């Protein structure tokens, strides 16, 4: 299990994506099975990697580090992709989903691989915070993909190019519904997740991990949440918004959110983006972690 590296599943997903691209040339049952095989093999390697990391750190993958948290997000997306591709063999979901999965995995290469020092990993609130955020972000990515698929399908239909061989997508009606529901589900999850996160970092505590309201991560997260809140309220207010408008808005909001969240994690993990909490050296983090793990 310890021999599984990030490159193993990255390469598997990359091959699955290339095979997905070849399906545009025509439906081929064999290439579909090979594609699902590579996707499945990558998923198994991905799972083993997360388990090995979790065993090494003694923490659940969601809490062991931003690197692992992001990999859990990618894992959820691959699970969704495999499930839908097995169920609807003609829909070219991988063309949209796999590049995002690959980008997320590539981004984890630059993220911190040790736990956040200001979080008590044994606290149930911390677990809830990380879980809500990861599910909320999964909703964000799925909404982004639904939006992209909607615009692609809309363009094809407007230019009279209906379903081509091996290159099919769900109907505009279904994509619009999916898009709307992704916002409706992702927003409450992210709101709760951000809320608990803010509570966890600003509550009175001592040690090198304490940060305040002026921390850039907190500020950036609040701005992003505000953006999402505007979109959410707009959707609630307009009962029949145009599918294309919703698609554009979700793409803009979700892409910005995704880039910002991943960007913040990458910058803080690479040491380019310093906050009081993030200046804690690896040594200090380990000290903190060992203190948290002690029975006292």
Partner 1 sequence: MNLQVVYCSHHAADLSVRSKLGFTADELPRAYDELRAHFPASELVLLSTCNRVEVYTAQEDPEQIPTHRALAEFMARFHDLPLHEFFDDLLERTGSDAVRHLFQVASSLDSMVLGEPQIVAQVKAAYSLAQDHATTGPLTHALFQRALNVAKRIRSETALAEGRVSIASVAVGDFGKSIFDRFDDKVVLVIGAGEMAVETLRYLQNEGAREILVANRTEARAEALAAEWGGRVCPFEQLDQALAAADVIVSTTGAQPHLVDVARFRRVRQASGSKTVFILDLGAPRDFAPEIRDVDENVFLYCIDDLEAICARNRKARNREVDKALSIVEQETERFMAEVHHRATGPIIKRLREQWREVVDQETGRLFTRLPHLERDRAEIERCIDQMVNKLLHPPLEALRDEARAGAPHGLMEALKRLFRLHDSE
Report, in Å, the least distance between residue 221 CB and partner 1: 34
Give the binding site for partner 1 (CB under 8 A): 26-27, 29, 153-154, 156-158, 160, 162-163, 165, 169-174, 177, 240, 242-244
Min CB(19)–partner 1 separation in Å: 18
Instruction: Give the residue with the Cβ less far from partner 1, 45 or 246.
Output: 246
Among residues 3 and 29, whose Cβ is nearest to partner 1?
29
146 to 16, 48, 100, 205, 245: CA distances (angstroms): 20, 29, 13, 42, 13
CA distance 136 to 232: 13
Q: How far is the CB of 163 from partner 1 (least distance, A)?
A: 5
User: To the nearest whole angstrom, how small is the minimum distance from the Cβ of residue 244 to partner 1?
Assistant: 5
Task: For 191-219, give one letter per residue: b (16+ CB within 10 A) or e.
Answer: bbbbebbbebbeeeeeebbbbeeebebbe
* Straight-line distance from the first to the last Cα atom of the chain, in angstroms, rounded to the nearest whole number: 32
Closest distance of CB 242 from partner 1, Å:
6
What gap in Å lies between CA 265 and CA 270, rounded to an integer?
8
Question: Between 123 and 171, whose beta carbon lies closer to partner 1?
Answer: 171
72 in Cβ contact with 110 (< 8 Å): no
| Smaller CB separation from partner 1, 156 or 286 | 156
Minimal distance in Å, beta carbon 179 to partner 1? 13
Q: Considering only CA atoms, which of 201, 62, 220, 233 is closest in space to residue 133?
A: 62
The DSSP H or E segment spanning 149 is helix 124-158
- Decide whether 29 or 237 has the Cβ nearer to partner 1: 29
Q: Is 150 or 187 the residue whose CB approaches partner 1 more closely?
A: 150
């Amino acid at each position: 299990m310890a021999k599984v590296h990030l490159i193993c599943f990255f390469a598997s997903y990359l091959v699955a994506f290339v095979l997905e691209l070849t399906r545009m040339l025509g439906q081929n049952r064999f290439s579909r099975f090979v594609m699902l095989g590579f996707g499945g093999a990558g998923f198994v390697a991905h799972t083993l990697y997360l388990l090995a990391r979790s065993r090494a750190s003694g923490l659940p993958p969601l809490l062991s580090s931003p690197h692992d948290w992001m990999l859990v997000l990618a894992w959820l997306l691959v699970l969704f992709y495999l499930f839908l591709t097995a169920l609807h063999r003609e829909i070219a979901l991988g063309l949209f989903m796999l590049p995002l999965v690959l980008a997320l995995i590539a981004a984890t290469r630059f993220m911190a691989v040790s736990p956040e020092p200001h979080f008590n990993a044994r606290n149930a609130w911390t677990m809830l915070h990380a879980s809500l955020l990861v599910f909320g972000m999964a909703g964000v990515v799925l909404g982004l993909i639904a939006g992209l698929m909607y615009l692609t399908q809309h363009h094809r239909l407007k230019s009279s190019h209906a379903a081509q061989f091996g290159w099919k997508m769900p109907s505009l009606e279904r994509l619009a519904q999916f898009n709307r529901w992704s916002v409706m589900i992702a927003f409450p999850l992210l709101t709760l997740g951000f809320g608990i996160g803010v509570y966890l970092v600003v509550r009175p505590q001592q040690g090198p991990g304490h940060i305040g309201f002026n921390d850039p991560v907190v500020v950036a997260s609040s701005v992003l949440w505000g953006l999402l809140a505007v979109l959410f309220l707009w959707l609630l207010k307009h009962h029949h918004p145009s599918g294309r408008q919703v698609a554009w808005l979700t793409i803009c909001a979700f892409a910005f959110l995704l880039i910002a969240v991943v960007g913040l994690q990458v910058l803080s993990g690479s040491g380019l983006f310093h906050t009081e909490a993030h200046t804690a050296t690896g040594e200090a983090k380990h000290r903190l972690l060992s203190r948290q793990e002690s029975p006292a």
